[in-house]
Structure 1
Amino acid sequence: MTATRFAGGLLSLTLLVASCTSTTDAEEAPAARKPAGAAVADDMCAEHGVLEAICTKCHPTLIAVFKAKGDWCEEHGFPESVCPLCHPERGGRPTGSVDLKDDGAPADGTLVKLKSPELVRTVGIETVKAEQRPNGPEVVAVARIVYDAGKVARMNARSSGVVRELRVDVGTRVKRGQALATIESASVGADRGNLLAARARLEAAQSAAQRESELLAKGIAAKKDVEQAVKEREAAAAEVSAAEAAVGAGGGAGGLGGSYALTSPLDGVVVRRDAAVGQTVDPGPTLFEVVDASTMWAEIDVPEQELMGIRIGQGVSVEVDAMPGRAFEGKVDYLAPEIDPRTRTAHVRVALRNGDGALRANMFGRARIALGGERPSVMVPRVAVQRAKDVQLVFVKTSAGQYQTRRVVLGLEEGDLVEITKGIEAGEEVVTLGSFLLKTETLKDAIGAGCCD
């Protein structure tokens, strides 16, 4: 009750409503005349070249409605959307439906004047300049650097045995296929022995099948003996294949005796070694870890309310705390399909090039995800935006103690800021503290008699 009395009694605000201005100038603006003899559709105003139903020359009462909606060409006296002089290609017809009803919100351009600087201070009006952004709104979130999971290899023993030789240590840079350690294994020796025996049997079976075929050709051997020899040869070949698979699975491929080499499956750096000479090892525990750090991942947890503008492929700039001023650029390559029920965030992943190895796992920093792409945008504080009926309003300071109502169109949000896609220019001073009070004074049902000039 106190605030209401304060606004209505002490302020005595003077409202200059744009819709109350004289329409004489608009009526005197040049009309878009049709050439003599030109055919005109039945629903068109033949005299002014616009749709009859929205012709403000013939229906001047519509001027206030279009001005209130911010759809007005002051120079020619037509709604901007159908002005036949500014947009002749539209033929005087709107591109969509037109609502001629008064929406009840303040007209675009309504002026609010405070009588003195003392009154401005008493009310507590504060303003800030609308901010220009070169690349649109962005989401800023904490980023953690981790290894690219597709470029991490963990090696364990292929067969139980004893470590006989270590060929690398932590920090060693290795190539794909390079030996990391030599392990002596009884099972590998047995598998290799089985393979040698299987190969010997295959060789004997091949010789027997060849001999039986030659005897059959001379009429000495029976056909069934040849068929039996062929079956034995095929069985021996299958045994060799099985023995080779067993040797390969045990890590003994390409070697002799009971020793085998544990090798790296990729180029990279050894970052972990849990093996020692003489150590007994079994399949399962990791003995070596090799990482290719030429590409790293930035893992980002984005709050659910900021996810709407994020898409795969959007540009991301990551700056780690250890290297202020240096930005690593990448693109969103994964967006989790679920929200963490505890943190109410979604996981976002970005691949970052790391050719010089500057990025290291478990570094922390800040990621900036560009929501609007490479386009300029105007940002204002959320508190500067007021809602009147179904219309978004911002109040712009035009001079000392004078503020103009602007109908605006909102875009993406960024923290405490919101993008204005229409209605505000960068650098204009917008009201933050006190904007709600200005809104209440401009609403038609809050304007008393004698407030409008």
Structure 2
Amino acid sequence: MYVGHHTGWKVPPASELYGGKVEQIDDWCSEHLVPESQCIECNPNLYPKPKEFGFCSEHGVSECVLCHPELAQVKGEPQLPKHDTTQAIALLPRPENNSRNTLHRSRVQFASATSVEKYGIDIDLAQERMMSDILTANGEVVFNPTRVAHLMTRVPGTVAAVFKTVGHDVKRNDVIALVDSAQVGHAKSQLLQALVQYRLRRTTVERLRPISSSGAVSGKTLIDAESAMEEAEVMLHSARQAFANLGFE
């Protein structure tokens, strides 16, 4: 029972039963990240490199397949392109390659075919096809975003009238549209109500001050009236500020 629980109910190798150790073979190339036994850089005999022809001064590349078609990995007899490759190369400016660069001698290796699929590498045959100067693609015509202003109202409402549409010239302070908003109406009503209350309180104070000095009314009555006027003035300023916040002066 003890042996079964500690060995996963599997019979261990004889070397482990008698105290021996099984040597683990490290078959991994840490430099090229592939199994050591399959590394073609560390074991050149696995995949010999083709004959090197050096740098091509005519086309500016190393191991030029145009001058040496036998370097091209194709089936059958190597053939040069039917079209003028010189014009294709001269179509756009190309940086000059360094003739002393040796990176082209390094070969890319993967540990397995699964690694190739994981990195999203697709392998296909190189084919010679006609190229077209026209490319068909979907597009969307939009205004220049640096010259477009998106307008919005400070309060919700319903557009009652539109005075400017697409194509019209506009300038500063032009009326673009008229928005009917209940919130603006409420703010205006609050402002008018506060204005009426302030004027009423002020008129009351102006009437009480002359007769208060003669003793016809008590000083407390005048103080209460002045306090009510100051309170009405504060409410008036608050209503004006709320109306100004909506864009009205």
TM-score > 0.5, shorter chain as reference = no
Of Structure 1 and Structure 2, which has the larger fraction of its residues in strand? 1
TM-score by length of 2: 0.39
Higher-Rg member (1/2): 2
- Higher RCO structure, 1 or 2 (CA under 8 Å, sep 6+): 1
Greater share of helix: 2
Using the size of structure 1 for normalisation, the TM-score is 0.22
